[in-house]
Copies of this chain bind each other. A is one copy, B any other.
Amino acid sequence: MADTGWPACSKSLKGVILDLCGVLYDSGECGGVAIPGSVEAVKKLKASDLQVRFCTNETQAARPAFVAKLQRLGFDISVSEVFSPAPASVAVLQDRGLRPHLLVYDGLLPEFENVDTTNPNCVVIGDAAEKFTYQNLNDAFRVLIELEKPVLISLGQGRYYKETDGLKLDVGVFMKALEYACDVKAEVIGKPSPLFFQSVLNNMGLQPHEALMIGDDLVNDVGGAQRCGMKGVQVRTGKYRPSDESHPTVTADGTVDDLAQAVDTILDQRR
């Protein structure tokens, strides 16, 4: 037990997966601010022999845009290291010969640049925010209801999130709306979907027990990674709440103050 628990498990690790928002930075006006110590922590991790990937449920912007934002905050990060639902959905679409009707935020459209959207045979929804108009929902509904076997792909299943001006309805709410309208079950791409975590492991060429997820979201980051066979550590930044430490169904393998402490603990064990 001592060898497999946190932080002893750090010895056998080959890769670490980091959530972005709430772990590296806090969102907010002016594009957000780096969480103290996190720029240095990413640098240390990448200087080690561990593989590093970033895994986010961000679906309002294409990767080049939000990676550039993180670089401006000082992070050593590149697009090829980042896994987000949109490119994962593109792989699924291409694999299954699906041509989507897209109901996503304009900023996300570049991710679908090379996808055939003519004569759609499925619907993909992301966090479209103000683009979730009655007309746009009705258009997506009409595509689905006309299909013999409706396919609805949702980039996440969140209920709501917090912005500086208050709570905002997230993509999961509109996924449920279309599910009910068409009597169909959506396929969710993004954390905590096991398929999504597996795609990151595949990219690193690692087995689940060789990887650790660090996130601020107990259910989607930590619980999702654990259901995949990985270890999951929660940071006390971002959307962390004290009640997470006595959650009824998810128990993190470890809880640390922030990314800096997580990385120091991992690297200490490996010396």
Within 8 A of B (CB), among A171-205: 172-174, 176-183
Listed stretches A72-80, A160-168, A219-227, A261-269; interface member: A160-168
Cross-chain contact B181 with A177 (CB below 8 angstroms): no
- Interface status of A94 (Cβ within 8 A of chain B): no
When distances are taken between beta carbons in the complex, the residues of chain B under 8 Å from A133 are: 133-134
Residues of A within 8 A of B (CB): 129-135, 137-138, 141-142, 145, 159-160, 166-169, 172-174, 176-183
The 8 closest A-B pairs by CB, nearest first: A176-B180, A177-B177, A132-B134, A173-B181, A173-B177, A130-B134, A176-B176, A159-B181
Chain B residues with CB below 8 A from A129, complex form: 134
18 new A-B contacts at CB < 8 Å, known A134-B169, A159-B183: A129-B134, A130-B134, A133-B133, A137-B173, A138-B168, A138-B169, A141-B160, A141-B167, A141-B169, A141-B173, A142-B166, A159-B181, A160-B181, A169-B177, A173-B177, A173-B178, A173-B180, A177-B177
